[in-house]
Amino acid sequence: MKKLIPLVLIALAVTGCGSDDTTKGSADRTLTVLAASSLTGTFTQLAQTFEQRNAGVHVKLVFDSSATLAQQTIEHAPGDVLATADQKTMDDAKTGGGVDGDPKQFATNVLTLAVPSGNPAHIATLKDLDKDGVDYLTCVTTAPCGAAAQKLLAGNGIMRKPVSEEVDVKAVLAKVVAGEADAGLVYATDVTASQGKVTGLEVPGAADSPNTYWVAVAANAKDDALAAQWIDFLTGGEGKAVLEAAGFGTAG
Amino acid sequence: MGRPVSRGLAVTVDLPRLRAEVRVRPGSTVAVVGPNGAGKTTLVEAAAGTAPGRTSYDGEDWSGLPPYRRSVGMVFQEHLLFPHLDARDNVAFGLQARGVRRHGARRTAERWLSRIGLPDVARQRPAALSGGQAQRVALARALATQPRVLLLDEPFAALDVAAGAQLRLLLAAHLRDFEGVTLLVTHDAIDARALADEVVVLEHGTVAQVGTPAEIAEAPATAHAARLLGLNVLAAEEVVVPGHAPPGTLVTFAPSAVTLTVDEPAGSARNRWQGVVHTAVERDGIVRVHLRGAHDLYADVTPAAVDDLGLEPGRAAWASVKATEVTVLADGPT
Amino acid sequence: MVDAPPRLGPPPTRLVLAGAVAAAFLLLPLVALVVAAPWDRLWSIVSADSAREALWLSLWTSTIAAGLCLLAGLPLAWLLARVAFPGRRLVRALVTVPLVLPPVVAGVALLSAFGRTGMIGQPLREAFGTQIPYTTVAVILAHTFVALPFFVLSLEGALRATPLRLESAAATLGATRWTTFRRVTLPLAAPGLAAGLVLAWARSLGEFGATITFAGNYPGTTRTLPLDVYTALQADRDAAVALSLVLLVVCVLVLVTLRERWWGVR
């Protein structure tokens, strides 16, 4: 059953089970990075490079929704670096005492309308979401991707509501990939990451108000130096290259 | 074996643990007696259709029919009244199951409750009834549908003396003019003697003996039958007993407790009856003498005594028994 | 109803202690929930339209799901308890599976069957243009799917506990199996039936994983109270706590009322 794999992805997205890499090596130093789930691909790649460059360092990645991770830093859950997919959640983390110092913006991402391969509902533009019988998804409005989607839909005069508000962008993507929806508002990077399983359609006005990605050292960090090193690496040339390849903007 | 075409009920069970055939003539009652585990209950369950077996009634083959399509009424050792229904609805249950409307069924049920002397318990649930009352209601429930076959599976076994006696009287009154057939499972001689026209002795999974209660009492084929049916059974009013026996109860005493004399006994025994020797059958060194008079009495005596007294059939003799040898029928079998 | 236990001396300390620990473990998080509740904002949170909508949706979908459990589960429980059909053990084992299945997996399974591209969902959509996901029907289906095993197993236990001998007695009185079921078996199993319904209802009320996976998450149609709690948790933790408290109070209230009504206070 080919259909099973996307469905399992839905399950993983919904439960927030990400790649919780708990490999215990002989590493002397461990860096725990809490990152928004839209960073899954890029951060996994960057972590490998970072480990190669810094012998004895092990990077542990935790992916979840930005809001959940921000809350976790406020509660002083284990973690050295927090990377969120919008400014608001980072501000919340800072206000709540979850991060130290000044957060840095390191990437931007724009919303795209993703349609499943084959585009069964024949969607050409965002306006088509207003057609009867088109089922589209967004993130829940409390999540950054949902808040942005709401703004864009209103800006483009779309009256019909989504059939469901998924808790994060991965859940939206998984349902579109599985053909359980005709379209979904996801990030440009998600379309890139889907490797052709969905097609991205440009959303008018999306580029004008991109989502911004922020990174900061967690207040509870065990290894501040290593955390700062990761942030430098991320915002340096190598980090930028990887982010851009994945569809992020880095010109902020 | 050809298909039995006869009047009344014929039940055949052919299982590894029980191979038996029992026939009941129309209007008669057959008691099935035997030790525990002899298969008595299996036999009536076969007749009811709840256990495997072949059954026919008046030539009509019931073998393939489920219980609810047989014209049977059954009374169980535990009354098995429906705990969530009151007495009236319990009695009305069978009628309603057979299509009588609730109102009519309840009226009929009330008449039955009056007939069994319990008109006041109509709205009471089984939990509020005494054991004897519950069993009488269970009898009324079984009879209310006017079944052609009445099946009684140890109906007295769980009752105390007085309640058992009351139910026995009720049953006897009903059976007098019942035109169907009755199959009564018991391991109590009293029931067999008081209610049955014929007795079937089941032992080791087969029929050991068939006969009238008197025939089996006179010449029991097995030790169990001898012990069971050899007892003398009289109404309590006719016998002096130790202590108190309520009217309507039965009392028993063993044949070995009976003394036979040719002249009227002068001793301390206050229970004495005159009669004529009907039979005298020897078995295992004991002669069982059947004395006929106002009551049928059995006495076990030695062959020597038979010779001394000249107890041959037709000879007049006195039977006597000490009050201390008389047992008021205890509840349940021993 | 319950007899006082015979006097056998005081209960052993180790059992008392272990039992107390278990009780405390169960109680503590609930107490913490009450303590953590934002009492000053509580009313404004729980009286918000979105919360009322979610609570109402939860209540009526759970009630319908319990009703569906009754309709579908009663015959199944009876068959399992009373009819020795071939494969009965297998069927019983299969009925138990959703009981131990993670609800999310149940949601994925439901999508595979009734989703837009599912085994039944796709032909249904092509033939009639109707679809189940993202509708309240999907919520009810998800609820029923996870609650039905609870209902069937608890009812089957109750049916097994009703004496077969009474059913024999009914049969000798001329009652068909249907009449016996209706007039004897069912009334006697009524307390078990009620317990099963409450269990199914409570399970439905708390259902989350299968619902969010299969039905989606949209206010008014599929966002039940547990989904509302989870959604709130993404943004406003206090609101999530307050809504959880509502769910807890509703459960406790209903269970207590039904318990007194159906079982009598013991």
Q: Rounded to a whole number, what is the distance in Å from the CA of C175 to chain B's nearest CA?
A: 5
- Asked if A170 and A224 sit in the same domain, the reply is no
Interface with C, mutate which of B77, B84, B86, B112 (most C CBs under 10 A): B84
Facing residue for C231 by CB, picked from A71, A135, A142: A142
Kindly report the CATH number assigned to the domain that includes residue A117.
Answer: 3.40.190.10
Domain boundary, last residue among B194, B229, B264? B229
- Identify the domain containing residue B269 by its residue range: 232-328
Kindly report the CATH number assigned to the domain that includes residue B246.
Answer: 2.40.50.100
What's chain A's Rg over C-alpha atoms? Answer: 18
DSSP B96: H
Query: Given CB atoms, is B126 within the 8 Å cutoff of chain C?
Result: no
Tokens of A157: 């005069």
- For residue C9, being part of any structural domain is answered with no
- For residue C264, being part of any structural domain is answered with no
- Asked if B198 and B296 sit in the same domain, the reply is no
- Asked if B212 and B114 sit in the same domain, the reply is yes
Q: Coil, helix or strand for C180?
A: helix
Query: Given CB atoms, is B78 within the 8 Å cutoff of chain C?
Result: yes
User: Does the interface ipTM go beyond 0.85?
Assistant: no
The answer to whether A19 and A64 have CB atoms below 8 angstroms apart is no
Band the pLDDT of C140: cuts 50, 70, 90. very high
List, for residues C120-130, the tens digit of each pLDDT value.
988 888 888 88
List, for residues B34-78, the tens digit of each pLDDT value.
888 888 889 999 999 999 999 999 989 999 899 999 999 999 999
Q: Measure Cα distances from A159 to A132, A156, B98 in Å.
A: 11, 9, 65
Q: Rounded to a whole number, what is the distance in Å from the CA of C108 to chain A's nearest CA?
A: 6
The answer to whether C230 and A167 have CB atoms below 8 angstroms apart is yes
Interface with B, mutate which of C1, C173, C186, C193 (most B CBs under 10 A): C173
Q: Is the pLDDT of residue B249 over 80?
A: no
Domain boundary, last residue among B193, B211, B229? B229
Which of chain C's residues have a Cβ under 8 Å away from the Cβ of B141?
173
Q: Rounded to a whole number, what is the distance in Å from the CA of C3 to chain B's nearest CA?
A: 17
Query: Given CB atoms, is B5 within the 8 Å cutoff of chain C?
Result: no
- Asked if B128 and B255 sit in the same domain, the reply is no
CB contact under 8 A, C107 and A11: yes
CB contact under 8 A, B145 and C170: no
CA distance C247 to B9: 66
- For residue B3, being part of any structural domain is answered with no
CB contact under 8 A, A135 and C131: yes
- Asked if B29 and B148 sit in the same domain, the reply is yes
The total domain count for chain C is: 1
DSSP B266-301: -SS--EEEEEEEEEEEEETTEEEEEEEESSEEEEEE
What are phi and psi for residue A139, nearest 5 degrees?
Answer: -75, 160
List, for residues A106-146, the tens digit of each pLDDT value.
999 999 999 998 888 899 999 999 998 899 999 988 777 88
- For residue A46, being part of any structural domain is answered with yes
Q: Is the pLDDT of residue B247 over 80?
A: no
CB contact under 8 A, A71 and C237: yes
- For residue C207, being part of any structural domain is answered with yes
CA distance C256 to A109: 52
Q: Is the pLDDT of residue A232 over 50?
A: yes
- For residue C19, being part of any structural domain is answered with no
Facing residue for C117 by CB, picked from A3, A14, A142: A3
CB contact under 8 A, B82 and C170: yes
- Asked if A9 and A104 sit in the same domain, the reply is yes
- Asked if A95 and A219 sit in the same domain, the reply is yes
- For residue C70, being part of any structural domain is answered with yes
Which of chain C's residues have a Cβ under 8 Å away from the Cβ of B47?
none
- For residue A250, being part of any structural domain is answered with no
Q: Is the pLDDT of residue B92 over 70?
A: yes
CA distance A239 to A230: 10
The answer, yes or no, to whether B and A have at least 3 beta-carbon pairs within 8 Å is: no
- For residue A122, being part of any structural domain is answered with yes
CA distance C193 to C152: 9
List, for residues B272-290, the tens digit of each pLDDT value.
888 999 888 877 678 888 8
- For residue C40, being part of any structural domain is answered with no
Kindly report the CATH number assigned to the domain that includes residue C217.
Answer: 1.10.3720.10
- At residue B134, the pLDDT reads 95
Facing residue for B97 by CB, picked from C168, C174, C187: C174
Facing residue for C213 by CB, picked from A10, A142, A143: A10
- Asked if A157 and A169 sit in the same domain, the reply is yes
Give the helix/strand (H/E) hosting A64: strand A57-64
List, for residues C24-75, the tens digit of each pLDDT value.
999 998 898 888 888 888 888 888 888 899 999 999 999 999 999 999 999 9
Mean pLDDT across chain B, nearest whole number? 86
Range ranked top by mean pLDDT from B97-106, B238-247, C117-126? B97-106
Query: Given CB atoms, is B98 within the 8 Å cutoff of chain C?
Result: yes
**C interface residues, A as partner, C-beta within 8 Å:** 104-105, 107-108, 111-112, 115-118, 129, 131, 133-134, 209, 212-213, 215-219, 222-223, 230-237
Which of chain C's residues have a Cβ under 8 Å away from the Cβ of B96?
183
- Identify the domain containing residue A53 by its residue range: 4-108+212-245
CA distance B136 to C247: 54
The total domain count for chain A is: 2
Kindly provide the b/e burial profile for residues B23-57, where b requires at least 16 CB atoms within 10 angstroms of the residue's own CB. Answer: bbeebbbbbbbbbeebbbbbbbbbbbbbbebbbbb
Facing residue for C172 by CB, picked from B48, B83, B96: B48
CB contact under 8 A, C108 and A164: no
CB contact under 8 A, C116 and A179: yes
Q: Is the pLDDT higher at B242 or at C211?
A: C211
Q: Is the pLDDT of residue B5 over 70?
A: no
Query: Closest chain C residue to B72 measured between Cα atoms?
Result: C172
Global pTM exceeds 0.90: no
Give the helix/strand (H/E) hosting A30: strand A29-36
List, for residues A188-218, the tens digit of each pLDDT value.
988 988 888 999 998 998 888 888 999 999 9
Q: Which residue has the tokens 């009867």?
A: A132
- At residue B300, the pLDDT reads 87
Query: Given CB atoms, is A17 within the 8 Å cutoff of chain C?
Result: no
- At residue B223, the pLDDT reads 67
- Residue B15 CB contacts under 8 Å (≥ 6 apart), including other chains: B39, B42, B52, B53
CB contact under 8 A, A178 and C115: yes
Kindly report the CATH number assigned to the domain that includes residue B200.
Answer: 3.40.50.300
Query: Given CB atoms, is B74 within the 8 Å cutoff of chain C?
Result: yes
DSSP B73: E
Query: Closest chain C residue to A180 measured between Cα atoms?
Result: C116
Facing residue for C105 by CB, picked from A11, A133, A178: A11
- At residue A42, the pLDDT reads 92
- Asked if B194 and B208 sit in the same domain, the reply is yes
Chains that touch C (3 or more CB pairs under 8 A): A, B
The answer, yes or no, to whether A and C have at least 3 beta-carbon pairs within 8 Å is: yes
Identity of the amino acid at C249? V
List C residues 181-200 in contact with B (Cβ-Cβ < 8 A). 183-184, 187-188
| Helix C237-258 vs helix C49-82: crossing angle, to nearest 10 | 40
CB contact under 8 A, C174 and B68: yes
- For residue B334, being part of any structural domain is answered with no
What are phi and psi for residue B23, nearest 5 degrees?
Answer: -120, 140
- Residue C94 CB contacts under 8 Å (≥ 6 apart), including other chains: none
The answer to whether C227 and C241 have CB atoms below 8 angstroms apart is no
Q: Is the pLDDT of residue B178 over 70?
A: yes
- Asked if A231 and A178 sit in the same domain, the reply is no
CA distance B258 to B273: 11
Mean pLDDT across chain C, nearest whole number? 88
CB contact under 8 A, A178 and C233: no
Cross-strand bridge partners of residue B202: B207
Q: What is the mean pLDDT of residues C210-235?
A: 87
CB contact under 8 A, C213 and A14: yes
Query: Given CB atoms, is B240 within the 8 Å cutoff of chain C?
Result: no
Neighbours of B194 (CB within 10 A): 18
- Asked if B168 and B239 sit in the same domain, the reply is no
- Asked if A11 and A68 sit in the same domain, the reply is yes
Query: Given CB atoms, is A3 within the 8 Å cutoff of chain C?
Result: yes
- For residue B105, being part of any structural domain is answered with yes
- For residue C165, being part of any structural domain is answered with yes
Which of chain C's residues have a Cβ under 8 Å away from the Cβ of A137?
216
The total domain count for chain B is: 2
Q: Coil, helix or strand for B157?
A: coil
Neighbours of B318 (CB within 10 A): 18
Q: Is the pLDDT higher at C18 or at C266?
A: C18
- At residue B35, the pLDDT reads 81
Q: Is the pLDDT of residue A14 over 70?
A: no
Band the pLDDT of B84: cuts 50, 70, 90. very high
- For residue A252, being part of any structural domain is answered with no
CB contact under 8 A, C217 and A180: no
- For residue C214, being part of any structural domain is answered with yes
Interface with C, mutate which of A136, A140, A166, A197 (most C CBs under 10 A): A140
- At residue B269, the pLDDT reads 64
- For residue A64, being part of any structural domain is answered with yes
Q: What is the mean pLDDT of residues A164-173?
A: 88
Q: Is the pLDDT of residue C217 over 70?
A: yes
Domain boundary, last residue among B229, B258, B281? B229
Query: Closest chain B residue to C182 measured between Cα atoms?
Result: B97
Kindly provide the b/e burial profile for residues C156-189, where b requires at least 16 CB atoms within 10 angstroms of the residue's own CB. Answer: bebbeebeeebbbbbbbbbbebebbbebbbbebb
CA distance C51 to C238: 13
Facing residue for C174 by CB, picked from B83, B84, B98: B98
Chains that touch A (3 or more CB pairs under 8 A): C
Which of chain C's residues have a Cβ under 8 Å away from the Cβ of A179?
116-117
Band the pLDDT of B268: cuts 50, 70, 90. low
Query: Closest chain B residue to C163 measured between Cα atoms?
Result: B80
- For residue B333, being part of any structural domain is answered with no
Query: Given CB atoms, is C176 within the 8 Å cutoff of chain B?
Result: yes
CA distance B56 to B21: 11
- Identify the domain containing residue C206 by its residue range: 52-222
Give the helix/strand (H/E) hosting A165: strand A164-166
What are phi and psi for residue C215, nearest 5 degrees?
Answer: -90, -25
Query: Given CB atoms, is C21 within the 8 Å cutoff of chain B?
Result: no
What are phi and psi for residue A100, nearest 5 degrees?
Answer: -105, 155
- Residue B300 CB contacts under 8 Å (≥ 6 apart), including other chains: B230, B254, B255, B256, B258, B286, B287, B288, B289
- Asked if A19 and A136 sit in the same domain, the reply is no
Which of chain B's residues have a Cβ under 8 Å away from the Cβ of C174?
68, 94, 97-98, 145
Facing residue for A140 by CB, picked from C133, C134, C217: C217
List, for residues C153-210, the tens digit of each pLDDT value.
999 999 999 899 999 999 999 999 999 999 999 999 998 898 899 889 989 998 999 9
Q: Is the pLDDT of residue A12 over 60?
A: no
Pairing relationship of beta strands B181-185 and B149-153 according to DSSP bridges: parallel
- Asked if A121 and A204 sit in the same domain, the reply is yes
